[in-house]
Amino acid sequence: MERKIIHIDMDCFYAAIEVRDNPSLRPEPVAVGGRSSRGVLTTCNYEARRFGVHSAMPNFMALKKCPHLVILPVRFEAYRQESRYIRKIMASYANLIEPLSLDEAFLDVSSRKENARDIAFEIKRQIRRERGLVASAGVAPNKMLAKIASDWQKPDGLFQIRASNIDEFMYDLPVSKIWGIGKKSVEKLQTKGVHTCGDLQEYSPLQLTHFFGKFGAELHNLCRGIDSRSVVSNRIRKSISVERTFSENLDTLDACLSKTQTLFVKLEEDIIKLKSDRCIAKLFVKLKFADFTRTTIERTGLAITQKNAESLCQEAFGRKTLPVRLIGIGVRFASETRASSKQMQFDFAGNRGS
């Protein structure tokens, strides 16, 4: 069966976060890299790239190319936090996700009925709406092609390589675009007059193994757009939740219960979208009060229903006599899959009132 792989890569990630957090910088060329003249840039926005500035360029050189470049210090913790938010968005579209770095990940959406391009479009839209950041996406039947595709129309790109177009696409593709090929190998190939994947396709697996050792056999496939590597998720999801901070604190239990209803509907949708094969072990409700203290109530053995979420909310609300600024509700998954366990099957869909 043909796979549906999406690769998401954020546009000028660190710089985009800095500009979002300080919109007056929007029209300026901006780089992130510390202010010392001996440092190098981690990245820069697309305005700066127009001047020939790029990642890993020494600051002094960047300032020579673009004297009015704004160079900001690195704020790793902010980028890590942003990465967590973005992964959370991605996790609502796919349960098989392989992050490659803070700003990129593969998603395998083969099990979903929808068109992969539509899913990628939605992810981009949600990231933009909720995080104020722009992502580029690539859609293809395998990882290498999806990664090439996400880079194809950057920034704000959405590009799909269909199985029927692979041969044509690969023929003119520069060998430097092959995922995993190093600069040295590209140079070595160029000395042999090999510039495109089409040129490389002229070589037999034996010849390629002779030139590149073990990687040669792989290269024989990769230059034809064949890549059977799986998307390997490095983390098993332990829970899923939705939460909202309110613009005005909620003073009454009724107000909290009404918000809980809305959140529960969203949670239910997210659980269904996730298509997890694991049992749900617990339902939980979290409240943050006006004084920023929090309380969480979680229960094993409760059916995942709106009514139960409401009763947990009521219990949590009773713990303090303070208005509520945030409500979160979620479920924790058990380690067993639905197939392997009969006892923990909770009915969450279509059972809101019971």
The answer to whether 298 is a known catalytic residue is no
Catalytic residue (one of 47, 98, 104, 268):
104
Select 32 or 280, whichever has its Cβ closest to ligand TTP.
32
| Radius of gyration of the CA atoms of the chain, in A | 25
Per DSSP (E only), the strands in the chain are 5-10, 30-32, 43-44, 70-72, 97-101, 104-108, 135-140, 158-160, 239-250, 278-289, 294-300, 324-337
Single residue of 5, 10, 256, 285 touching Mg ion by CB under 5 A? 10
Single residue of 28, 51, 55, 261 touching ligand TTP by CB under 6 A? 55
Site string for Mg ion, 75-104 (x = CB under 5 A): ----------------------------x-
Name the residue with tokens 């209803």: 261
Among Mg ion, ligand TTP, none, what binds residue 14 when CB lies within 5 to 8 Å by partner kind?
ligand TTP
CB 72 within 8 A of CB 32: yes
Which residue stretch of 11-19, 188-196, 214-222, 252-260 sits at the interface with ligand TTP (rule: CB under 6 A)?
Answer: 11-19
Q: Which two tokens stand for residue 271?
A: 């659980």
Amino acid present at 253: L
Which residue stretch of 9-17, 88-96, 194-202, 342-350 sits at the interface with ligand TTP (rule: CB under 6 A)?
Answer: 9-17
Minimum CB distance to Mg ion, residue 48 (Å): 14
Minimum CB distance to ligand TTP, residue 169 (Å): 20
Can you tell me the distance from the alpha carbon of 341 to that of 84, in angstroms, rounded to the nearest whole number?
31
Which residue stretch of 2-10, 169-177, 213-221, 308-316 sits at the interface with Mg ion (rule: CB under 5 A)?
Answer: 2-10
DSSP-derived letter for residue 103 is T
Select 56 or 339, whichever has its Cβ closest to ligand TTP.
56
Angle among Cα 233, 235, 236 to the nearest 5 degrees reads 100
Minimum CB distance to ligand TTP, residue 9 (Å): 5
Strands of the sheet containing 104-108, edge to edge, are 97-101, 104-108, 5-10, 135-140, 158-160
Which residue stretch of 9-17, 247-255, 302-310, 338-346 sits at the interface with Mg ion (rule: CB under 5 A)?
Answer: 9-17
Which residue stretch of 7-15, 217-225, 258-266, 273-281 sits at the interface with ligand TTP (rule: CB under 6 A)?
Answer: 7-15
Q: Check whether the bond before 155 is cis (ω within 30° of 0).
A: yes
Minimum CB distance to ligand TTP, residue 151 (Å): 7
CB 33 within 8 A of CB 56: no
Single residue of 43, 185, 305, 308 touching ligand TTP by CB under 6 A? 43
CA distances (Å), 155 to each of 9, 10, 13, 86, 158, in order? 10, 9, 11, 17, 9
By CB under 6 A, residue 14 contacts ligand TTP: yes
By CB under 6 A, residue 82 contacts ligand TTP: no
Looking at the DSSP bridge assignments, the partners of residue 278 are 337
Quickly count: other Cβ atoms within 10 Å of residue 168's Cβ. 12
CB 200 within 8 A of CB 116: no
By CB under 6 A, residue 97 contacts ligand TTP: no
Q: Which two tokens stand for residue 128?
A: 């933009």
By CB under 6 A, residue 199 contacts ligand TTP: no
Minimum CB distance to ligand TTP, residue 17 (Å): 8
By CB under 6 A, residue 244 contacts ligand TTP: no
By CB under 6 A, residue 154 contacts ligand TTP: yes
CA distances (Å), 52 to each of 58, 69, 314, in order? 12, 11, 58
- Interface residues with Mg ion (CB under 5 A) are 9-10, 13, 103
Q: Catalogue the active-site residues.
A: 104
- Interface residues with ligand TTP (CB under 6 A) are 9-14, 42-43, 55-56, 103-104, 154-155
